[in-house]
């Protein structure tokens, strides 16, 4: 295995550990609810503090990576992220848990920006698109974390013990990967806290990512409810749509780079927008188990490429350094992830859930339109230099 391949493995391992930590926390949310005797409303309020921390962490991450480099931020941030996980399980009251969740959300986005900056730097050195495969490993870690969580629950481990096991796995990954996490060359783009207006490229990409994240958030939170209340699926099939969506999204990310290299990133984003639109329309017009499952599978394939390709395009900005450009796009797109699920509930309350999903289908059409008109915005010379000699 040559040097660049080893680096790719190391960066991929770091993406995997971040996804493993996040999915581990998510797998024990029901236990956290039981531990503190929380109602659904109280749990929803508690969970809100994680995205609050994420929003706080976005501009800090952009500044930190620009100031100290993605290598230092990835390693030290990764250790902090792994060590914060057990604190969630060790919290003895909700008042103790709240600042831990805020910190966990902040560190999650610190890792998001720093690791994607590492991915873009390696992409430049390898001379080809590879960022989506790293996001695929993050998604794969979600399945791994859920499976590991189920196994450790069967063994009788409480959340604190479970989180401790995952922390040890995470620290081991960081220890073996850190030697191949390198400092990127200093960018000439603007840095500092993200307080500036995006240029035309970043604004377009941010809107595309916003719509993609809105569709993704809706599918995460509402696909099971849709199968239960609209499809009227049998109890054992209620999760089928969610599994189809998640499986397609994870799988799609492993082929996105090859498709982007062959057909261009913008073309893949166009097709992705159409798949989101068509998939949700199928689920709305044909509310039957297998038709809706197929529709959700198409949505998963569509969502798969939006964020990694948006990040890849944003990282080529001439105006900002990659870390700051990523933070800008992440800040705007993340609000789509937060806004989408409540909007679904509000529209469903006024009309019904099918109308809500039909509106989310418009996110896919919006992506298709935004990536199709005035495409010269995307025409930035690639930053792929000659491959580094091995």
pLDDT given at position 49: 87
Cα–Cα distance for residue pair 323/187, rounded to 1 Å: 9
Contacts of 348-355 with C-beta under 8 Å, sequence gap 24+, read 352/230, 353/222, 353/225, 353/226, 353/229, 353/230, 354/230, 354/284, 354/287
pLDDT given at position 186: 59
For the entire predicted model, the pTM comes to 0.83
Q: How far is CA 182 from CA 31, 117, 177, 242, in A?
A: 39, 11, 10, 37
Backbone angles phi, psi at 384, to 5 degrees: -80, 105
| Helix segments in the chain, DSSP class H | 3-27, 29-35, 40-47, 49-68, 70-90, 94-126, 131-154, 159-177, 200-229, 240-263, 265-285, 289-314, 322-350, 353-370
CA 255 to chain centre: 17
Q: What angle do CA 342, 344, 350 make, to 5 degrees?
A: 105
Q: What b-and-e string marks burial along 322-361, b requiring 16 or more CB atoms within 10 Å of the CB?
A: bbbbbbbbbbbbbbbbbebbebbeebbeeeebbebbbbbb
Residues 150 and 83: beta-carbon distance below 8 Å: no
How many residues are listed for the chain in this entry?
Answer: 390
Residues 87 and 172: beta-carbon distance below 8 Å: no
Task: Walk along the chain (390 residues) in steps of 10 and give the mean pLDDT of each run.
Answer: 90 95 85 85 80 84 86 95 95 93 93 92 88 92 84 90 96 94 67 61 93 91 87 87 89 94 93 98 96 96 95 84 84 83 84 91 96 79 49
Cβ atoms within 10 Å, residue 232 = 12
pLDDT given at position 389: 45
Place of tokens 């792929």: 384
Residue 96 CB partners (closer than 8 Å, separation 6+): none
- DSSP-assigned states of every residue in 29-70: HHHHHHHTT--HHHHHHHHTHHHHHHHHHHHHHHHHHHHH-H
The pLDDT tens digits of the residues spanning 136-194 come to 999 899 888 888 888 888 898 999 999 999 999 999 999 999 999 988 765 555 555 54
Closest CA to 269 of 316, 307, 298, 300: 307
pLDDT given at position 390: 44
Measured torsion, CA atoms of residues 20, 313, 253, 119, in degrees rounded to the nearest 10? -40
Q: Is 188 exposed, middle or buried (0-12, 13-18, 19+ CB in 10 A)?
A: exposed
Residues 321 and 190: beta-carbon distance below 8 Å: yes
CA 47 to chain centre: 17
């Amino acid at each position: 295995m040559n040097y660049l391949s080893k680096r790719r493995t190391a960066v991929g391992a770091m993406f995997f550990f971040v996804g493993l930590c996040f999915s581990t926390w998510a797998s024990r949310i029901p236990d956290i609810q039981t531990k503190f005797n929380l109602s659904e409303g109280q749990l929803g309020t508690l969970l809100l503090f994680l995205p609050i921390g994420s929003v706080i962490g976005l501009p800090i991450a952009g500044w930190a990576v620009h100031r100290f480099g993605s290598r230092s931020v990835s390693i030290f941030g990764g250790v902090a992220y792994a060590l914060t996980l057990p604190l969630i399980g060790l919290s003895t009251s909700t008042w103790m848990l709240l600042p831990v969740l805020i910190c966990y959300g902040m560190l999650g986005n610190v890792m998001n920006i720093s690791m994607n900056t590492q991915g873009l730097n390696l992409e430049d050195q390898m001379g080809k698109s590879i960022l989506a495969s790293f996001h695929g490993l993050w998604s794969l870690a979600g399945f791994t974390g859920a499976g590991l969580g189920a196994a450790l629950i069967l063994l009788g481990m409480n959340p604190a013990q479970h989180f401790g096991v995952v922390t040890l796995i995470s620290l081991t990954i960081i220890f073996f990967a850190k030697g191949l996490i390198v400092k990127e060359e200093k960018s000439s783009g603007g840095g500092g806290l993200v307080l500036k207006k995006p240029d035309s490229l970043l604004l377009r990409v941010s809107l595309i990512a916003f719509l993609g994240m809105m569709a993704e958030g809706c599918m995460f939170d509402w696909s099971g409810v849709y199968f239960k209340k609209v499809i009227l699926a049998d109890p054992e099939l209620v999760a089928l749509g969610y599994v189809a969506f998640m499986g397609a999204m994870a799988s799609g990310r492993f082929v996105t780079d090859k498709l982007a290299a062959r057909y261009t990133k913008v073309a893949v984003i166009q097709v992705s927008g159409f798949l989101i639109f068509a998939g949700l329309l199928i689920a709305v017009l044909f509310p039957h188990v297998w038709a809706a499952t197929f529709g959700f599978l198409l949505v998963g394939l569509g969502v798969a490429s939006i964020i990694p390709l948006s990040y890849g395009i944003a990282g080529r900005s001439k105006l900002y350094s990659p870390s700051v450009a990523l933070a800008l796009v992440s800040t705007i797109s993340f609000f789509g992830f937060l806004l989408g699920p409540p909007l679904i509930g509000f529209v469903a309350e006024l009309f019904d859930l099918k109308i809500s999903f039909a509106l989310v289908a418009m996110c896919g059409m919006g992506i298709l339109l935004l990536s199709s008109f005035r495409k010269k915005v995307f025409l930035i010379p690639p930053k792929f230099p000659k491959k580094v000699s091995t």
